[in-house]
Amino acid sequence: MPVTLSPRQRQHLKGLAHALEPVVHVGAAGVSEAVVRVLGETLLRHELIKVKLPKLDDAGAREALANEITVASGAALVQLLGRVLILYTPRAKDLPGKPRIQLPS
């Protein structure tokens, strides 16, 4: 089930993502099985990530690629700014690791 974020939660996540560097880079070939696998693994570890998109001349093509990545990863789209995409997936409660991100209500 996809995560829906309120404007307040989205703003909170943008603030947290400000200091992050892109951890996944999508090449000119677009979304492949390998990219989807890496996105899934990275989202499990980090919850909030930045994804760098390839250079595309058309803003509509960038938005379409961002939507394709969001659907394939099952994450919530926090923001698309230029060629950088911010994605969020809440950590499952039964997974060990870093503390989960606490979203405002």
In a domain, 94, yes or no: no
Residue-range definition of the domain harbouring residue 28: 7-87
- pLDDT (tens, 9 = 90+) of the chain, 105 residues, equals 568 899 999 999 999 999 999 999 998 888 899 999 999 999 988 899 999 999 988 889 999 999 999 999 999 999 999 999 999 998 777 666 666 888 888
Q: Tell me the pTM.
A: 0.89
**CA-closest candidate to residue 22, choices 36, 2, 39:** 39
Number of domains in the chain: 1
CATH code for position 83:
3.30.110.60
